[in-house]
Chain A
Amino acid sequence: MSQTINYANNDGVLWCVLTNGLRYRVYKTNEPVALDQKLLFEVDRADDSEPRLQKAT
């Protein structure tokens, strides 16, 4: 996770999506915050609760 974001940030690519096919995480790579706080939101298709976007904390 951290490497993917770092590569994007290093290349000046603002957005980074990481997925395992079930979970999709969208990061904004240039935010001046700690790495784990760059998560903008996550969509989890395996979650059987009500559909929603999980906002980053």
Chain B
Amino acid sequence: MQATVLAFRANVRYGVPNTEDERLSHAVYLMDSEVTLSQAAAVCMVSERALRTRWNKRRADRRADEVGLLRNEWDSLLPVVRGRPLMIATDEGFRAAAILAHRAAAVDQRGRQVGQRGQWHLEPLVSALGWDPSDIDTVGREVKVFDGTFLDYALKVDSIPRVYLEAKGISENLDERSLCLRP
């Protein structure tokens, strides 16, 4: 049986598994060798659920490596947060969203605000949406509106604003009707 042979090779390579963590590593090794999840779980005596979780993490880590994310950027994200950028089909969007999440987490830890001083970390998002942040004909910053207040971003098509993007402090509640722009 192919799985058994591969399990033997895994034992040779990694040692006979004792802990569940080691058995999961073996099972992932088997799946890398195109053994099915249920087969790998049975051979390594781990639950299919635990193996699926480990396998998904392995695939996510591999995708992060492939798009050039730094390991500290990717590892800094909570598992639940990682799931969201992974839903993005394009590698560019995935990478931009992951970097955005990493920077948001870093800003959050430092207690800084997204708005005012920290708009920069929205720029990967702006870029992922298809606008070039370095092109002033495409992306306007600190856009003055009719009564003299400023908006953080205007995303333009043919030099005409089509989307206004306003960033608030990370601790601010977006439900607040009293949220107002900077005069």
Contacts and interface: CB of A to CB of B under 8 A. Distances in A.
Interface string B143-182: 0011001010010000001111111111111111101110
B43 interface: no
Contacts of B180: 3
Nearest to A19: B167
A48 B172 CA distance: 19
Interface of A: 1-4, 7-8, 10-11, 13-23, 25, 43, 45, 48, 51
Given A7-B181, A11-B146, A19 B165 contact: yes
B83 A19 contact: no
Given A1-B179, A13-B154, A20 B162 contact: no
Contacts of A2: 177, 179
Contacts of B179: 1-4
Interface of A is mostly: mixed
A21 B164 contact: no
B161 A11 contact: yes
B121 interface: yes
Contact of B114 (A1, A4, A21, A45): A21
A15 B162 CA distance: 6
Given A7-B151, A20-B114, A21-B170, A15 B145 contact: no
A7 B149 contact: yes
Given A1-B175, A4-B181, A19-B166, A48 B80 contact: yes
28 contacts: A1-B175, A1-B177, A2-B179, A7-B149, A8-B164, A11-B145, A11-B146, A11-B161, A13-B162, A14-B163, A15-B163, A16-B163, A17-B163, A17-B164, A17-B165, A17-B166, A20-B171, A20-B173, A20-B174, A21-B107, A21-B121, A21-B170, A22-B104, A22-B170, A25-B174, A45-B81, A45-B104, A48-B80
